[in-house]
Amino acid sequence: MDFFRRYTDEFLEISKEYDFEFLESNAHAVFALDSELRFIYFNKAWFNFAKDNDDIEKIIIQYPILSPFDTSVCGVLNKFYIEAFKKVIEEETVWRHDYECSSKEEFRIFHMDVFPIATKKGLIVINSLKKSEAITQHNFKPNTKDYLQKDGLYYQCSNCRKTQHSKNLHQWDWIPDWVEKCPNNTSHTICPICFDFYWKNGK
C-alpha cells in the first residue's frame, strides 16, 4: 500500500466513465471504495478537511489507499455503514445520510451522498457541509477525574464529539479542548441520543 497516493490505477480506469476533474476540483470531501469496500480514491478536499480536523500524517498512515473502510469506523457505525454501502453496490442505488462533525468553535452537520460505480465496481462518497453555526452550548473543562472511566479510557461520541461523564454515565459533556485534541486513551463511540436520531432504524 502506498501511504501517499490519493487514488489507485483501478480508480483512474473507472473514472473514465465519470468526470474525474469534477471530483478533483470539488470543494467537498470525496472518497471512493471498490467492491470490497477498500479506499481507492481521496480527492484533495478530503485531505484538506482531514488536515483541518485531525493529524493529517496520522490519518494518512492509518487509512492509506487500499486499506479497508471498516478499519475507519467502529461499533454500531461499522455495521451501519457496511450494510448501507453494500446495498448501494448490490442494488446500484443512491443513498443519502446526515451526520454531525463539529469543530471546537462550530456546530456542523454534513450531508453524505453515496453513488454506485457502474457494474458494481464500488461507490463514490461526497460529504458536503449542510449546516454550520457558532457553538452555543455550555463548555466543560477537561477535568480528567470526571471523565476517565474504570477501564482507563475516555469515551467520546464520534458524531456530536461530547465526552461521557464517569460518575453519571448518562451525561455527555461538550469539552472544546478535547474536540480539538482528545487524550491519547480516548475511545470513539456513539452516544445514545446521536444513535437514536441519526442511525436507529437504518436512517
Domains in the chain (CATH in brackets) are 9-135 (3.30.450.20), 144-199 (no CATH)
Each residue's pLDDT, cut to its tens digit, for the chain (203 residues) gives 445 689 999 998 887 777 888 999 999 999 999 999 999 999 999 988 877 766 566 677 778 899 999 988 877 888 899 999 999 999 999 999 999 988 888 999 999 999 999 889 999 999 999 999 998 888 898 888 999 999 999 999 989 999 999 999 999 999 999 998 889 899 989 999 999 999 886 55
Query: What is the spatial distance between Cα 15 and Cα 146, in angstroms, rounded to a whole number?
Result: 50
pTM for this prediction: 0.84
Run of H or E including 41: strand 39-42
Inter-residue contact 66 to 1 (CB < 8 Å): yes
Query: What is the spatial distance between Cα 186 and Cα 178, in angstroms, rounded to a whole number?
Result: 10
4, 12, 26, 41, 86 from 20: Cα distances, Å? 19, 8, 10, 11, 23
